[in-house]
Amino acid sequence: MQTHQLRIGTRGSALALAQAHEVRDRLVAAHGLSEDAVGIEVFSTTGDRITDRPLADIGGKGLFTKEIEDALKEKRIDMAVHSTKDMPTQLPDGLEIVAYLEREDVRDAFIGRDGGGLDDLPADALVGTASLRRQALVRRLRPDLRVESYRGNVQTRLRKLGEGVVDATLLAYAGLRRLDMAHVATALLPLDRFPPAPGQGAICVETRGDDERARQLLAEISHAETVSALSCERAFLGKLDGSCRTPIAGYARLDGEKLFFHGMILTPDGMEAHEVSGEGSAEDAAAIGERAAADVRDRAGTRFFDSWS
């Protein structure tokens, strides 16, 4: 039986496997390892198995990570690869995100069954998406459309779209690119009108906080600019108690040593939204995100958050 020097845990979707292989390939290249030295173990998570209900109704983002994190805590694997936007801001005790790969394109891709973009859909067309952020933004921009929850992996959603279950859907463009499926996007949504989820487009690697070997190996493949941007975005999300019940957008970018942040919070019906901006030194990334969260929370007022409960 093959004994691996390193064991990577991941979900079993095509996208999750592509991300795990990217981490493995980077580790192999950075440390001169053989591919056989790094094993990939696939886990079926509760979030993958239950697809007939909105994520918020069955426990939130953590359902996509629980089984993998249990294996990590029990030392059955050495590290876990995730889509950062799927990660809760509060991790289980003893676990940490210690690396982010260089970020991909952060935009949302629009896929219309008949082509075109969001503005081209006729009134009363049906848009399917499981993301409350995407639902709220669609309702904000096109209140004449119908929106419903629409779960499943990339291939499942595209198959349902082709069968006419919905007229359009939205997916992270980064995921399509990683699957060599960028061509299915019929439009890309602009960041100023359709800001992304915090962490969108970034692969993160989680490990045990006391595993210095894994930490040192991963340090060689972690991308410093992405680390700063994600520190800001996840601080923003964390201070707003972000969950699958909360439509929150946030995007940080670096220009040299300076970081610029744009965030948005919405009511689920998209009828009310508040935007916030922040900037400062990249070294203060988390503080910029926290200040932006406090600012937008104060301006929105307590009544606004009643719709999030």
Supply the residues annotated as catalytic.
86
- Positive or negative, the CA dihedral 71, 73, 76, 81 is positive
Give the residue carrying structure tokens 């606004």.
304
Q: What distance in Å separates the CA atoms of residue 62 and residue 45, rounded to the nearest whole number?
A: 10
Three-state secondary structure string covering 189-249: CCCCCCCCCCCCCCEEEEEECCCHHHHHHHHCCCCHHHHHHHHHHHHHHHHCCCCCCCCEE
Q: What is the amino acid identity at position 178?
A: R
SS3 131: coil
* 3-class state of residue 103 by DSSP: coil
In angstroms, how far is CA 141 from the centroid of its own chain? 22
CA dihedral 167, 136, 116, 51 (to 10 degrees): -40
Radius of gyration of the chain (CA): 19
Residues near 71 by beta carbon (within 8 Å), at least 6 away in sequence: 9, 41, 43, 77, 80
With tokens 């006419």, the residue in question is: 164
